[in-house]
Amino acid sequence: MNPSMEAIRQSILVGQPLIQILSYEEKRVEGFLLRMAEQVHKAPALAHWDINHGLVKENHSVPESRDPVIAIDAVINDPEPGFTVFRDLGPEMRRSGRVVRKLRDAYKILKGKRKIIFLLSSDEYFPQDLKKEIDIFPFPLPGIDELGALFERFLESMRRSGRQIQLNEAERRDFVIAAQGLTLDEAYKAYMKAFHNQPLITAGLVKGIHEEKKQLIMKENVLEYFTQRFTLDDLGGLDNLKDWLQKRRRAFTDAAREFGLEKPRGFLCMGVSGCGKSLSAKVTASLWKLPLFRLDMNLVYSGMAGSPELVFSRALQTMDSVAPAVLWIDEIESGISDKQGDSSSSRILGYFLTWMQEHTSEIFVAATANRIDLLPAELLRRGRFDQIFFIDLPTRREREEIFSIHLKAKGNDVSHFNVPQLAQITKGWSGSEIEQVIISAMYEAFNENRPLSEDDLLVIFGNSVPLATTMEEQIKKIRSWAHNRAVRASKDVEY
């Protein structure tokens, strides 16, 4: 069983009386609950509540029960054990403290009685007062088996309507895999669209499913597909990190599994601003020839796409479905941390930690962090990330490489510059600051209609102060934190 479903099952089996399930797929969730009811009560039956029909049990409406307090009372007083599903109770909880109070009462009375109230919604409202009483689970998207069964039923209906099907076993599987990451409804619609007006169903139509999925991922908004490509040559210095990445070039191949290696889960790059943390994430994807997706935690929390927990869990499930890929989480401390008193963020952290431990898909997480003091200890524990790298201000030799990279990238002839000298005088400058100075100096030269000269650079460097000078204390702190906990991304130590 899928780990999230297993977690719900455990919660049911220990007699937890209030369980909230987050999903867009009411029918699928209720199908699962019916199977659970069969196991627990030997009777596959559910009672239902919604705002229009009130509480309905075995086709009987309970009088007055559109009022959720009356409905919850009826569940409490029902002599029979059983499962009751409340759909969309969120707005009622928001409107009235009575409902929340009643649920807390129900929790005390129903504990261990095999009477369970399920709150089912796609966009959850979560009252703080219920924090201790309620278990919350995102419901997983359909797996290969469910999608496979759907696709077979779909093909059968196509065949009956006179279409010709020319698909072998492997090609059928491609259609099923292509729909991973979609809900059953979405998968059904994607097949409908792809096969519309096609008398002959062949392997080529799978493109339509990929197209549909791309659309749906874009709609989701919080995942951004990156097309920009970088190579190792765009990244100056950081030789330890580069070695590590290069040794894992074939980490996501069958050959690595056969050799007995587990697939890597991810790295965390922490360190000084502007020294190549984000660039390292981008380089990883290009080097390993994997697609790169950036998860925007600000959008997750914006509430634009739904409740943060649901959006976050769905994004990870979407990632599982597009594997193998690199998932880039920039400035992870701002999104995945245990902010005191914020239940959304602590649940997101919990979900992320479990996913990091348990996901079986080939997703490599490239995370970056600036404020390590905000990172929860659980995230740094062994077994979450394969390696934690510390990216410090560039060393002298690294600054040479950074100068060469950016002078060349912007069309200058490196042989006209004394790069070792430039590196010498820029002690304490970050890669990003060096790049910015080159750009400013090029504007000077451009305005005077001449090529960039070394003097242009020297003037600007002479007149400005790098951030490291003003932030000396902070940088000292970062260094001492990293000393025991992280591996230096650079090989050399001479600043």
Judged by CB under 6 A, the number of residues near ligand ATP is 19
CB 361 within 8 A of CB 354: no
Q: Which of 194, 235, 329, 437 binds ligand ATP (CB under 6 A)?
A: 235
Q: Which of 274, 306, 335, 466 binds ligand ATP (CB under 6 A)?
A: 274
How far from the centroid of its chain's Cα atoms is residue 308's Cα?
11
Q: For the CB of residue 434, give the shortest distance to ligand ATP in the complex, in Å.
A: 8
CA–CA distances in Å: residue 450 to residues 181, 435, 441, 445: 55, 20, 11, 5
How far from the centroid of its chain's Cα atoms is residue 494's Cα?
38
User: Nearer to ligand ATP by C-beta: 179 or 285?
Assistant: 285
What pairing do the DSSP bridges indicate for beta strands 60-61 and 54-57? antiparallel
CA–CA distances in Å: residue 435 to residues 5, 133, 370: 50, 54, 20
Burial status of residue 278 (CB atoms within 10 A of its CB: 0-12, 13-18, 19 or more): middle
Q: Which residues make beta-bridge pairs with 74?
A: none
Dig out the tokens for 236 from the structure. Answer: 């100056």
Q: What are phi and psi of 124, to 5 degrees?
A: -85, 140
Q: For the CB of residue 277, give the shortest distance to Mg ion in the complex, in Å.
A: 5
By CB under 6 A, tell whether 432 contacts ligand ATP: yes
Helices (H) and strands (E) in the chain, counts: 23, 16
Q: Which does 402 bind (CB under 5 to 8 A by kind): Mg ion, ligand ATP, none?
A: ligand ATP
Reduced to 3 states (helix: H, G, I; strand: E, B; else coil), residue 144 is helix
User: Nearer to ligand ATP by C-beta: 232 or 425?
Assistant: 232
Q: Which of 276, 308, 335, 466 binds ligand ATP (CB under 6 A)?
A: 276
Q: Which does 140 bind (CB under 5 to 8 A by kind): Mg ion, ligand ATP, none?
A: none
By CB under 6 A, tell whether 277 contacts ligand ATP: yes
> Using CB atoms, what's the residue nearest to ligand ATP?
431
Site string for Mg ion, 249-278 (x = CB under 5 A): ----------------------------xx
By CB under 6 A, tell whether 335 contacts ligand ATP: no
Q: For the CB of residue 269, give the shortest distance to Mg ion in the complex, in Å.
A: 9
Q: Which of 370, 387, 453, 474 binds ligand ATP (CB under 6 A)?
A: 370
Q: Which residues bind Mg ion (CB under 5 A)?
A: 277-278
Q: Which residues bind ligand ATP (CB under 6 A)?
A: 235-238, 273-279, 368, 370, 394, 402, 405, 431-432, 435
